[in-house]
């Protein structure tokens, strides 16, 4: 096999109570990448559609992630990469992580799978750091592994995959404005009150327990953020109205997807999800800002060959 095409799914990170440690993988929303072996060593970005991104390997998320992997193997050939972006940069649903994950997944496949998907997360994080300013796995882990993921620790990297309850759906409302991850991090405070840390720890534990036991009520009670959301929500027009509309119409929980500006809701059942999506978009329309609305099951497979 000398050439493959891969699907790199969008993701929702943080999930309210899991800042920098929780994420989930979306279905049907994502980028496509074509990777091929070439005689020349290294990585060359040959084509980019759907976004204005650098072609220089060392400045491109996919290029940096791919080079991180190549530095761990001994080969006498290289790779070309085409990137076809469907996830808008700065959308809050893992645009940069999709590029990083797709690059390392595709190269690994063409090398005969010397690394597991869990091992690929570490390489993908190197590319993610180009976009966000720091290495974090809450998007690249679910993008590669699928389902929900928990990043238990970074030294060493310890990622746990959690399969999704079967009736769980996600709605994502993506306003056509950009909130850069670095800017969204800049509004955060370096310290938090002890009482908020306790609440957040309880919610994170509750969310994980709810996922393992298929307890939708517990999942909903746990999807609360008393630390990050209060500091970031002013960056997103009509955030409170959209979130309240989702909750009134039956969402298990709603919040900021990643660093924003996308707003997500988790829902039980497809019919309920459609109703919640309609309520969210009706409450965003008066901003006069263009937006997309996505409805998705949870993708338990992650990045894959197409």
- The stretch 147-167 carries a mean pLDDT of 96
- The stretch 6-31 carries a mean pLDDT of 96
Respond yes or no: is residue 301 known to be catalytic.
no
Q: What is the pLDDT of residue 11?
A: 98
Q: What is the pLDDT of residue 182?
A: 72
Respond yes or no: is residue 181 known to be catalytic.
yes
Confidence of residue 131 (pLDDT cuts 50, 70, 90): confident
pLDDT digits (tens, 9 = 90+) for 189-202: 889 999 999 999 99
Taking Cα atoms as reference points, which of 30, 280, 287, 290 lies closest to residue 139? 30
CA distance 286 to 282: 8
Q: Max alpha carbon distance in the chain (Å)? A: 59
Pair 174, 292: CB distance under 8 Å: yes
Q: Which of 58, 82, 109, 128 is catalytic?
A: 128
Task: Specify the 3-state DSSP secondary structure of 148.
Answer: strand
Q: Which of 181, 229, 273, 303 is catalytic?
A: 181
- The stretch 127-131 carries a mean pLDDT of 86
């Amino acid at each position: 096999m000398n050439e493959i095409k891969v699907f790199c799914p969008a993701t929702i990170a943080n999930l309210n109570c899991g800042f920098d440690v929780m994420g989930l993988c979306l279905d049907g929303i994502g980028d496509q990448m074509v990777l091929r072996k070439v005689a020349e060593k290294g990585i060359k970005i040959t084509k980019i559609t759907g976004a204005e991104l650098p072609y220089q390997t060392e400045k491109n998320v996919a290029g940096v992630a791919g080079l991180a992997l190549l530095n761990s193997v001994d080969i006498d050939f290289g790779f070309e990469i085409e990137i076809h972006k469907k996830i808008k940069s700065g959308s809050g649903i893992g645009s940069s992580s999709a590029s990083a994950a797709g690059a390392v997944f595709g190269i690994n496949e063409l090398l005969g799978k010397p690394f597991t998907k869990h091992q690929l997360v570490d390489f993908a994080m190197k590319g993610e750091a180009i976009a966000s300013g720091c290495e974090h796995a809450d998007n690249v882990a679910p993008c590669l592994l699928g389902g929900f993921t928990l990043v238990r620790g970074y030294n060493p990297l310890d990622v746990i995959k959690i399969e999704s309850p079967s009736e769980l759906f996600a709605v994502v409302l993506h306003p056509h404005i950009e909130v850069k991850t670095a800017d969204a991090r800049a509004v955060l405070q370096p310290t938090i009150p002890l009482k908020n840390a306790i609440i957040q720890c309880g919610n994170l534990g509750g969310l994980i327990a709810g996922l393992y036991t298929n307890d939708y009520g517990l999942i909903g009670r746990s999807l609360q953020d008393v630390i990050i959301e209060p500091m970031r929500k002013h960056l997103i027009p009509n955030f409170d109205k959209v979130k309240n509309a989702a909750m009134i119409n039956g969402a298990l929980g709603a919040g900021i997807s990643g660093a924003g500006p996308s707003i997500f809701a988790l829902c039980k059942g497809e019919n309920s999800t459609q109703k919640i999506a309609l309520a969210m978009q009706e409450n965003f329309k008066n901003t006069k800002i263009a937006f997309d609305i996505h409805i998705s099951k949870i993708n338990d497979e992650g990045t894959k060959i197409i």
